[in-house]
Each structure stands twice: as C-alpha cells, then as structure tokens.
Amino acid sequence: MLSTQQIEFIKATVPVLRESGVALTDYFYKRMLNNHPELKETFNMGHQRSGGQAKALAGAVLAYAENIENLAVLGDAVNLIVAKHVSLNIQADQYAIVGENLLHSISEVLGVPMDSDLIAAWAAAYGQLADILIAAEKQRYAEQEAIQGGWNGWREFKVVRKQPESSVITSFYLQAVDGGALPVYQAGQYVSVRVEVPELGIKQPRQYSLSQAANGNELRISVKRESEREALAAGYVSNTLHEHVQEGDVLELSNPNGDFVLNSADKANVFISAGVGITPMMAMLGQVAAHNMPKATSFIHACRDEHSLSMSEAVAAIKQRFPQLQTYLACETQPETDLEVQTIGRLNLHTVGAELLPREADYYVCGPVGFMQVQYQSLLGLGIAPEQIHMEAFDTGGIAAVTAACGIAAVTAA
C-alpha cells in the first residue's frame, strides 16, 4: 500500500512525466538494453528505434500515475498488456530488471537522488503495478498450459506451406515440430513469432493474428511485406519471413493469445477491415461459418487496389456454403479485372446498406489507426453503441492506438 505522501509524490510527477515521459523511457530502454543485452531478443528493436515501445511504456507509466487511487480504470489496458507479455513469455523475475532500470532512469533524467523520497514513492508504485501484472500473467500462463495442446514459452513450428495471397501478403502454414496436439484457440487471437533477423544478427519477436479458425492440424499467419520505413519500425520480422523463410524452415511460436475474439454466439456479426487487417477477420468468419451461426454476418473490406486485395477467393468460397453472409468491398482504384466492387474509393459506412449493419450486432474493426478512427466514428453516427464495437490495432502501442481511435481518454497515450 502506498502512503498518502507517496501518492502525493506520484501525482506531483505526472506533469513532469507528461513532458518528458518519452525521453525518460527512451533513456530507460537504452540503459536497460546496455546492462542486459539478452533482452534485445525480447524487445522489438524496430520499436526501440521508432519510439513505439518507448511511447507505449511511457504511456502506461503515466496512466498509472494518473490513476494511482483508482487502478480499476486501467482494467482493459492491463488485460491487453498481460496478453502481450504472456505472448512474449515475459517472466516475473524480469520485473526487477525493468524496475531497477526505470527507477535509475527517473533519478538520472529528473536529477533526483536514488535515495530520495520521490524515488521511494516510485519504487512503491512500480511494485504495486508489477504485482498486478505478475499475478495476472501467472494466471494466464497456468490457463494456457492447462488447455489441451497449449504451451508456455516458445514452441517450434515448421513452415509446411508458403502461399502468396496478394502482391503484399503471404500466408505461412505452420505445423508443430513435436507433432503434439494444438489448442482450440479462439478466432481473432494472435501468436508471437520469433525468428533470427539477418540484418540485426539476433532473434526478434513479432505478433501476427492467426488468419484461419482452429482446425487442430496447423496454424496459419498471413504476413504483409513492409516498405523500408515500415520495416525499420517493425523490426524486419515480416520481411525476414517474406524473403528468408522458406517451406521446411522452423519458426518459434508462442501459444495463441489476445482478447479480440467473438463476443457472442447469439448475435449478428459485422467484420470491418482494411488491408492486412483482414487476417483476424478471416479466422472469425471461418469460425462463424463453421458453426453455421444463424444470425446475419457481414464482411466489409477496404483495399487499396486489386493487386493488394487478398483472400477474396476464400471469402467467396465461404459465401457459397454460408448464404447468410453478405459481403461489401471498397477499392480505392477501379479494378481492371471483373472483380465485384461496391465502392470505388474509401470505405464510407454511411453509404453501405443498412441490411449489412444491423442494430443488434457485434462490430469488429481491424486496420490502420486512421481507418479505425473513421469507422468507429461512423458506427457511433449510425447509432451503434461503443460496447458493441471491438477493435484490434497492429503492433506495439496498440492499446494507445485503440483508445485514441475510440476518442476515449487515452489510457496509454503518451
């Protein structure tokens, strides 16, 4: 428990953190990775360079400081952090390393001695948050290990098929090297994939949504090739998969994780995605169709052009055996082939027919942050309640991105 005086110290630090939060965590990462170079294989070095992770952690620390007396408001953010940490196999003893480096960085950046009351207050506050995360993570590790086919840590998977889906997206079909059972994961969940990145000479992890519903036989991820700038920010894992990983190669995967999953078996579902945001939607759509869920299902997708459009044949095949599925495609440019497109230009939900957007439905949105912001606002404008809308952002900083997209008081925004 923090004392009243410690709470005052923490609150007094909030404005300073607001101004220097990113600088502080930037300093913190450099210090920690210098002292513990082995952690370079845990953190995504692309995020270090682009500042994504620095912002994410700075945001989490700030949010914690702001809500020190009411940690319940962090509930959703904590779940997302826990899922990400567990997916990365973060261990309880690593909290001491992060804590020590964070406190030293606060002390050094703000020019306060380590033995000051302010640092003692931050030590207590960090300890409180660490305890919450460690306990929640312990529970998730126990749960995922207990389910049939589940595992903790990294498990080897062989690439049994590498299948281009479009000019930018390629699917990797993965089978467990140990030949053991696979878990019945929930559609919409992601795995961390760890691979040696030749440019960096170290292993790097990155999260990918599973792009098909659980089938007990194999896992599938569908990966977008990144531009040079995106690759720098994302740590090259995607491009390593595209360029260096071939059929027969082995990747390390963590157990499927994440809370962006189907909310209800009894409601209509509307899937809205852009670009590679289609991947969790394909898994969800597959699950809805496999269970022949009776309520209406809409699949609304936006693509840049027909060459970057992926999995349209798979969607058409599902539609054939699942007639209640309604589809809608917005393509920014006029296709040259006979591809059926409902809108040429950006997706505008106000012009999508009301039959595709039922009032009583769960809405799932995945795509770039700007896209999610626009769709979220459109859905609110169409009378859909915020609790009906579920969103998933790619990449680290996803929590901040989702909260920003929703226009809610940013829980983790720096």
95 binds ligand HEM (CB under 6 A): yes
60 binds ligand HEM (CB under 6 A): yes
- The catalytic position among 137, 165, 252, 392 is 137
Our CB check for ligand HEM shows the closer of 150 and 398 to be 398
234 binds ligand HEM (CB under 6 A): no
Q: What is the gyration radius of the CA atoms in the chain, in angstroms?
A: 22
Q: How far is the CB of 234 from ligand HEM (least distance, A)?
A: 9
Among all residues, whose Cβ is closest to ligand HEM? 44
Kindly tell me which residue out of 301, 398, 403, 413 binds ligand HEM, with binding defined by CB under 6 A: 398
- Taking contact as CB under 6 A, which single stretch among the options 50-58, 150-158, 254-262, 289-297 is the one that binds ligand HEM? 50-58
412 binds ligand HEM (CB under 6 A): yes
Which of 39, 126, 52 has its CA nearest to residue 90?
39
Our CB check for ligand HEM shows the closer of 86 and 330 to be 86
**Segment 103-132, which members bind ligand HEM (CB under 6 A)?**
126, 129-130
Length of the chain in terms of residues written: 414
140 binds ligand HEM (CB under 6 A): no
Our CB check for ligand HEM shows the closer of 187 and 400 to be 400
Q: How far is the CB of 366 from ligand HEM (least distance, A)?
A: 14
- The catalytic position among 95, 141, 185, 363 is 95
Our CB check for ligand HEM shows the closer of 22 and 349 to be 22
Kindly tell me which residue out of 2, 103, 133, 136 binds ligand HEM, with binding defined by CB under 6 A: 133
Q: Is 8 a catalytic residue?
A: no
Task: State how far the Cα of 234 lies from the Cα of 227, in Å rounded to an integer.
Answer: 10
Q: How far is the CB of 91 from ligand HEM (least distance, A)?
A: 7
**Segment 63-92, which members bind ligand HEM (CB under 6 A)?**
81, 84-85, 88, 90
Our CB check for ligand HEM shows the closer of 185 and 190 to be 190
Beta-carbon-side half-sphere exposure of residue 39 (alpha carbons within 13 Å): 19
Q: How far is the CB of 396 from ligand HEM (least distance, A)?
A: 4
Kindly tell me which residue out of 119, 285, 318, 399 binds ligand HEM, with binding defined by CB under 6 A: 399
Could you write out the three-class secondary structure of the chain?
CCCHHHHHHHHHHHHHHHHHHHHHHHHHHHHHHHHCHHHHHCCCHHHHHHCHHHHHHHHHHHHHHHCCCCHHHHHHHHHHHHHHHHHCCCCCCHHHHHHHHHHHHHHHHHCCCCCCHHHHHHHHHHHHHHHHHHHHHHHHHHHHHHCCCCCCCCEEEEEEEEEECCCCEEEEEEEECCCCCCCCCCCCCEEEEEEEECCCCEEEEEEEEECCCCCCCCEEEEEECCCHHHHHHHCCHHHHHHHCCCCCCEEEECCCECCCCCCCCCCEEEEEEEHHHHHHHHHHHHHHHHCCCCCCEEEEEEECCCCCCCCHHHHHHHHHHCCCEEEEEEECCCCCCCCCCCEECCCCHHHCCHHHCCCCEEEEEECCHHHHHHHHHHHHHCCCCHHHEEEECCCCCHHHHHHHHHCCCCCCCC
Q: Is 95 a catalytic residue?
A: yes
Binding mask 25-44 for ligand HEM (x = CB under 6 A): --------------x--xxx
**Segment 144-163, which members bind ligand HEM (CB under 6 A)?**
none
Q: What angle do CA 378, 383, 388 make, to 5 degrees?
A: 85
224 binds ligand HEM (CB under 6 A): no
Our CB check for ligand HEM shows the closer of 110 and 133 to be 133
Instruction: Count CB atoms within 10 A of the CB of residue 292.
Output: 9
- Evaluate whether 347 touches 373 at the Cβ level (below 8 Å): no
Kindly state the number of chain residues that form the binding site for ligand HEM, as judged by CB under 6 A: 26
Q: What angle do CA 327, 332, 335 make, to 5 degrees?
A: 75
242 binds ligand HEM (CB under 6 A): no
Q: How far is the CB of 397 from ligand HEM (least distance, A)?
A: 5
Q: How far is the CB of 42 from ligand HEM (least distance, A)?
A: 5
Our CB check for ligand HEM shows the closer of 140 and 301 to be 140
Which residues participate in catalysis according to the annotation?
95, 137
Residues near ligand HEM (CB under 6 A) are 39, 42-44, 47, 53, 56-57, 60, 81, 84-85, 88, 90, 94-95, 98, 126, 129-130, 133, 396-399, 412
